[in-house]
Amino acid sequence: LNPGDFKRSKVLENFLRVVGKNIFDVQIESNKINLDKNGNKVSYVVNRNINFTNRCEVNCSFCAFSRSKKREKTLAMEEVSKKVENAKDGGATEICLQGGINPELDIDYYLKLLREINSKYDIHIHAFSPQEILHMSEGSVEKTLEKLKSAGLGSMPGTAAEILDDRIRKKICPNKLTSDQWETVISKAHKLGISTTATMMYGHLESWEERLIHLKKIKKIQEKHSGFTEFIPLPFLPGNNELGNITGSRRKGLEDLLVISLARIVLEGSIDNIQGSWVKLGKNMVSKSLYFGANDIGGTLMEENISSSTGKATRGYMRKEEMEKLIKNAGKVPVQRKTIY
Ligand code: SF4
């Protein structure tokens, strides 16, 4: 990292203007908050992603994963079961189920999916983004969440958040749920005792101001229900998607680290766990993120399709031993965690 180079960068100038602190103070402060809260411990989870359908009709401009009906791949229940079995054999404590918004899948499909897994395997099911919840809800989101919970839903990924500001959402994902709808689904889940993560997809058309707005919204939701287990900043990967043609190649490096630091500072006293995503950031940057406020590096994944579809992500699977080695090499102490910490 060469701070001299970044001084000239507009991104960094804007950071200073909006945040009002220089990058060194921000790094020092975020690192201190993290050390006070989590010491030198860095966690990870052994999990497997299962993307049960890639058919989607929402057409988000940043998506490289979704396919039309002609090219869809929707897994049969037996295929899902096989993947869960394989995950269990590999020591996974969690499976993460997420898919596209497939008009042919209704609530019965999702419930069957949960029951099938829950009846056969002792594993935590982390599943369905707020967008998927809204898609499968027939009227009442609460009732839908209650049904899912009793069918075995353990927790939910707080994905589909992107930037919680409708000016940006209208540009990058006009058919997706609004920021208010995202908050409503998440809040209802929290009220029912279903924990979720919180995410932010950054690095496209949004400004530092909008990133701050997003973080403050997350903090406000957490103050009401305390249902977020962690915050995960996810950089936009501009490969094989329409939005990437507008933004050009990805800005990376110090900016990614500062987003993590900013999250740690804004969410102090509210969300204790900040994740550096190794799939999105790469192994080198994720190591550095541990000194910018991150105390978690996510899951082993076993299979990753969403980020990999862009051709820009670190491909799919980091074994438990490798996770531990990465953490130790960064001078930290690895801790295997469960999904909800
Ligand atoms: S991001 Fe999700 S909702 Fe949007 S197009 Fe891709 S799969 Fe569909």
Locate 3 and state its tokens: 């701070």
CA distances in angstroms from 279 to 31, 106, 203, 237, 312, listed in the order given = 22, 30, 16, 11, 9
Residue in 256, 269, 228, 278 with CA at minimum distance from that of residue 45: 278
Interatomic CA distance for residues 131 and 173, integer angstroms: 12
Task: Report the residue among 101, 172, 175 best suited for mutation to probe ligand 1: largest number of ligand atoms under 8 A from its CB.
Answer: 101
59 lines ligand 1 (CB under 6 A): yes
- What SS3 class is residue 156? strand
Closest residue by Cα to atom 2, ligand 1, is 100
Place of tokens 């860095």: 42
Lowest-pLDDT range of 197-201, 223-227, 251-255: 251-255
66 lines ligand 1 (CB under 6 A): yes
Neighbours of 72 (CB within 10 A): 15
Query: Residue 315 has what pLDDT?
Result: 65
The answer to whether 306 and 98 have CB atoms below 8 angstroms apart is yes
Q: With a cut of 90, say whether residue 22 has pLDDT above it.
A: no
**Which residues have C-beta within 8 Å of that of residue 148, sequence separation ≥ 6?**
110, 111, 114, 127, 128, 133, 194
Interatomic CA distance for residues 300 and 294, integer angstroms: 17
CA distances in angstroms from 112 to 81, 82, 247, listed in the order given = 12, 15, 40
Closest atom of ligand 1 relative to the 65 alpha carbon: 6
Interatomic CA distance for residues 298 and 131, integer angstroms: 22
Q: In the chain, pLDDT over 70 holds for what percent of residues?
A: 95
Query: Residue 121 has what pLDDT?
Result: 97
The C-alpha angle 157, 154, 266, rounded to 5 degrees, equals 40
Interatomic CA distance for residues 187 and 184, integer angstroms: 5
Distance 310 CA to ligand 1 centre (A): 13
Closest atom of ligand 1 relative to the 131 alpha carbon: 3
56 lines ligand 1 (CB under 6 A): yes
266 Rama class: left (phi>0) / alpha (psi -120 to 50) / beta: alpha
pLDDT tier for residue 173 given thresholds of 50, 70 and 90: very high
Mean pLDDT for all residues in the chain: 93
Residue in 198, 168, 203, 228 with CA at minimum distance from that of residue 285: 203
Residue in 94, 290, 311, 328 with CA at minimum distance from that of residue 197: 94
Closest residue by Cα to atom 7, ligand 1, is 100
99 lines ligand 1 (CB under 6 A): no
Interatomic CA distance for residues 150 and 217, integer angstroms: 29
Interatomic CA distance for residues 323 and 299, integer angstroms: 9
Query: Residue 235 has what pLDDT?
Result: 95
Residue type (1 letter), 169: R
Locate 211 and state its tokens: 């990133």
Distance 62 CA to ligand 1 centre (A): 8
Query: Residue 155 has what pLDDT?
Result: 98
Residues 26-37: tens digit of each pLDDT: 999 999 999 999
269 Rama class: left (phi>0) / alpha (psi -120 to 50) / beta: left
Closest atom of ligand 1 relative to the 99 alpha carbon: 7
Query: Residue 256 has what pLDDT?
Result: 94
**Mean pLDDT for the stretch of residues 30-45:** 98
Query: Residue 139 has what pLDDT?
Result: 86
Query: Residue 138 has what pLDDT?
Result: 84
Locate 217 and state its tokens: 């919204």
**Mean pLDDT for the stretch of residues 7-33:** 83
61 lines ligand 1 (CB under 6 A): no
The C-alpha angle 54, 311, 215, rounded to 5 degrees, equals 75
Q: Is 90 exposed, middle or buried (0-12, 13-18, 19+ CB in 10 A)?
A: middle
Interatomic CA distance for residues 148 and 155, integer angstroms: 10
End-to-end CA distance of the chain: 32
- pTM of the predicted structure, to 2 decimals: 0.95
pLDDT tier for residue 9 given thresholds of 50, 70 and 90: low
pLDDT tier for residue 5 given thresholds of 50, 70 and 90: very low
